[in-house]
Structure 1
Amino acid sequence: MSEPATISPSIIETLYEDALLLADEARAAFDFSDRFEVTDIDASNARVAMSCEALRTTTRMMHAVAWLLNQKAYFAGEITEFQLRHHGRLPPPQPEADPEQRAMMAPYIVDLVDRSAAFYARIQRLDRAWRDRFELRPAAVHRLRERLGYAFG
């Protein structure tokens, strides 16, 4: 089994640019102040659904951007690896929208939400792979104890 590729500055820069584009697209898509005339219950419910999804999507993207900025700061030498491990954690993903609320949204909004969730999952996989480097597995600890026991026993 091959070892996964490490995160490099070029990967982070590319992902950062993608995140900014997706965040800007989300901002434009959810800037809907004049799109709904709240005259009935359906329009009111659709507005609430859009507001909830706007909050989830923009929060998701801002967490991704913050994680990427921490990575950029690390590669620029502005923070240490310890600081990155300690303060650069990626929060858990936002919950998915209720299917009934999703059905009220335009297809392009649903597509944008799905793309932002896929982007976040990609960042999560990178974060998990990077953090796995620092976790001691119980088997590794036991092997180390055995080697120390043989060396000093």
Structure 2
Amino acid sequence: MTTPSNINPRIVEALYGEALVLSDEVRAAFAREGAADGEDADLVRVALSCEALRTTTRMMHAIAWLLNHRAFFAGDLSEFQLRRYGKLVEFPDGDAGHLARLGPDMRELVHATEQFHARLKRLDNGWRERAAGAPTAIACLRERLNLQAVSAA
């Protein structure tokens, strides 16, 4: 097993900038792809709508996760709050049937958002695993109380 990732403010800021650029590319690409012609135009529009919703939601979850970490590093969230509310949820990849109806550029963009989300998920999992072995706040308090009791006796 690899060593869990370390999340620091520089990593979060770099990823946040990357997420904003990728989100803007997603918004522009799906806005551009509006009309479809041909006999399966309705299926293409449905595929486009579904993948647009899935892709933009995936990126908004990623940005929310990054914003939570920025707030933590700024001192606006405690580690407890970040662990409790800042978990990056599993998010489904694009539907193969829908993606087949989209152009190669659009498929590549959807894949890029999936890869970005997967990177964040690995960071989140590594950060959570690293802290899982650390003693809890209650365990630390009990240890302090035990040490005080021993020194008082």
TM over 0.5: yes
Q: 1:127 aligns with which of 117, 120, 124?
A: 124
Residue 30 of structure 1 is matched in structure 2 by 30
Distance, in Å, in 2 between the alignment partners of 1:112 and 1:35 is 18
Distance, in Å, in 1 between the alignment partners of 2:33 and 2:105 is 17
Q: Are the structure 2 counterparts of residues 5 and 48 from structure 1 closer, same or farther at C-alpha, using a change threshold of 3 Å?
A: closer
Residue 142 of structure 1 is matched in structure 2 by none
TM-score (norm 2): 0.80
Query: In the alignment, residue 73 of structure 2 is paired with which amino acid?
Result: F
Distance, in Å, in 2 between the alignment partners of 1:136 and 1:6 is 15
Query: In the alignment, residue 59 of structure 2 is paired with which amino acid?
Result: M
Distance, in Å, in 2 between the alignment partners of 1:93 and 1:102 is 16
Percent identity at matched positions? Answer: 49
Residue 101 of structure 1 is matched in structure 2 by 98
Structure 1 residue 35: deviation in Å? Answer: 2.4
Distance, in Å, in 2 between the alignment partners of 1:29 and 1:35 is 12
Q: Are the structure 2 counterparts of residues 129 and 5 from structure 1 closer, same or farther at C-alpha, using a change threshold of 3 Å?
A: closer
Q: 1:87 aligns with which of 81, 85, 95?
A: 85
Residue 116 of structure 1 is matched in structure 2 by 113
CA offsets 1:116-147 (integer angstroms, 9 cap, x no match)? 0000000000000001123249xxxxxxxxxx
Structure 1: gaps spanning 5 or more residues: 138-153
Distance, in Å, in 2 between the alignment partners of 1:33 and 1:110 is 12
Q: Which is worse superposed, 60-69 or 28-37? A: 28-37
State the aligned residue count.
134
Runs of 4+, deviation exceeding 6 Å:
none
Residue 69 of structure 1 is matched in structure 2 by 67
Task: Look up the SS of the partner of 1:26 in the other structure.
Answer: helix
> Which is bigger in relative contact order (C-alpha 8 A, separation at least 6)?
2
Query: In the alignment, residue 54 of structure 1 is paired with which amino acid?
Result: A
Q: Are the structure 2 counterparts of residues 88 and 51 from structure 1 closer, same or farther at C-alpha, using a change threshold of 3 Å?
A: same
Structure 1 residue 100: deviation in Å? Answer: 2.7
Residue 47 of structure 1 is matched in structure 2 by 45
Query: In the alignment, residue 18 of structure 1 is paired with which amino acid?
Result: E
State the Cα RMSD in Å. 2.0
